[in-house]
Amino acid sequence: MHRTRVKVVEDALDANNTIAAANRADFDRAGVRVVNFMSAPGAGKTALLERVVADLPGVRVGVLEGDVQGSMDADRLAGLHVPVTQLNTDPSFGGECHLDANMVRSAVPSLALDEIDLLVIENVGNLVCPAEFKVGEDARVMVCAITEGEDKPLKYPLMFRTCELVLVNKIDLLEHLEFDLDRLLYNIDQVHPNVERLLVSARSGVGIEAWREWLLRIAAREEVGV
């Protein structure tokens, strides 16, 4: 029973990888760089996008919004006059907890790839399954809000291990929390030594310039990651 289950999971991930490679080929052909943007619910992904997507000189940004239900984040971003496509994962009972390559593939025709240079895919808020499914991205960014505690890298290691950038968000709240920032950074290094990380606050603006520059590096095809 257990071996069968593992085999089913492996087959599903194999199929996903095949489709992710097809997505990647389409993105490459169109000259579009792609970021898979992930976090727990409420860590601040949309707020961090609102801060930068309309202000990347020379880079036309598009956003693919993944949500179980609704289009609240897409509506927020559309107000910035950025092309946004909504992808909902709820045809089944409670909805899928992640985007997979096939869902992203289904959205590709509506993405107008020839009109953008950088596509940000805002995944479903979840620290587990989104990390398991490639969607055709060039780089992965995850947001870890300090309000979530110092232990998250150790409890959700795959997410931290497979990303090229960790945005440590809500840093403006540091003085109001019993939070050991050094402990969080130490835990990040335990699962992904020296991964690039930025201390940011979507609210106060701290670190936002560095986050903007990181996206410009991605769009310029510079190497990122360790």
Instruction: List contacts with a copy of itself (CB under 8 A).
Output: 2, 5-6, 9-10, 13, 40-42, 67-70, 72, 91-97, 124-129, 131-132, 145, 147-149, 151-152, 154-159, 170, 173, 176-178, 203
- The DSSP line for 183-203 is HHHHHHHHHSTT-EEEE--TT
**Which tokens hold the place of 140?**
């992965």
Report the distance separating Cα 181 and Cα 208, nearest Å. 19
Q: How far is the CB of 59 from a copy of itself (least distance, A)?
A: 28
Residue number, 23 or 46, with CB nearest to a copy of itself: 46
Least distance from a copy of itself to the Cβ atom of residue 158, Å: 4
Q: What is the Cα–Cα distance from 15 to 182, expressed in whole angstroms?
A: 40
Residue 167 Cβ, how far from a copy of itself at the closest point, in Å? 15
- Smallest separation, CB 105 to a copy of itself (Å): 12
Tokens of 67: 């949500």
Looking at the Cβ atoms of 30 and 147, the one nearer to a copy of itself is: 147
d(CA 80, CA 23): 26
DSSP state letter for 117: S
In this structure, the number of other CB atoms found within 10 A of the CB of residue 81 comes to 9
Query: In terms of CB distance, is 33 or 98 closer to a copy of itself?
Result: 98
Task: Decide whether 33 or 170 has the Cβ nearer to a copy of itself.
Answer: 170
